[in-house]
Amino acid sequence: MADLEEQAEVMRRAGYRLTEPRKTVLRVLAAAHGFMDAAAILESGRLIHPHLGRVSVYRTLDLLTELGLARKVHAADDCHSYARADLLEGHYLVCERCGQITEFPCEGLDEMIKSVTQRYGFSVHGHLLQLEGLCPSCQR
C-alpha cells in the first residue's frame, strides 16, 4: 500500500530531498481512488499546502514516474493523468464515467506475453492491459 515513509525512503536513496511540495503530491495521490491530472492534483494539493506551485506538480510527477512511485494512466481520451504506482501494476479496469481504477491480478497474462514475444522476437519490458467500461455503480 501507499506508505509515505516508504516512498520517502525511495526518494532519499535516489538522492532526492523530501520537500513539502513533493510530500503534498504524494499525499494527494495516496488519497485518490482513481487517477488525477496535474490541474486536479494542484487544486487538491493547495488545500494541504497552499503555497504549492503548478510547476512543482509537473516536476514532481515526472520524478515520481521516474522513481516508479506513480504511473501515467492511458484512458481513451485522457492520457495526462497519474495514479500512484501501487494502484496499477499494468493491468486494471478503468471506469469511463467516474474514472475509478480497479486493479486486478494478471493471471494468464505472463503466459500470453511469453508466447507472443517468442513468436515475434520482441524483448518485452513492460505491459499495459487496460479494460475500459463502466463500474458497477455507474451502470445504473
Residue ranges binding DNA (CB under 7 A): 12, 15-22, 37-39, 49, 51-56, 58-60, 62, 80
Residue whose CB is less far from a copy of itself, 47 or 124: 124
Q: Does 118 interact with a copy of itself (rule: CB under 8 A)?
A: no
Q: Does 39 interact with a copy of itself (rule: CB under 8 A)?
A: no
- Residue 62, judged by CB atoms within 10 A of its CB (0-12, 13-18, 19+), counts as exposed
- Residue 24, judged by CB atoms within 10 A of its CB (0-12, 13-18, 19+), counts as buried
With b meaning 16 or more CB within 10 Å and e meaning fewer, what string describes 68-105?
A: ebbbebebeeeeebbbbbbbbeebbbbbeeebbbeeee
Site string for a copy of itself, 78-117 (x = CB under 8 A): -xx------------x-xx-----x-x--xxx-xxx--xx
Q: Does 122 interact with a copy of itself (rule: CB under 8 A)?
A: yes
Residue whose CB is less far from DNA, 96 or 111: 96
Q: Does 140 interact with a copy of itself (rule: CB under 8 A)?
A: no
CA nearest 39: which of 55, 24, 17? Answer: 55
Q: Interface with a copy of itself by CB under 8 A: which residues? A: 72, 74, 76, 79-80, 93, 95-96, 102, 104, 107-109, 111-113, 116-117, 119-136, 139
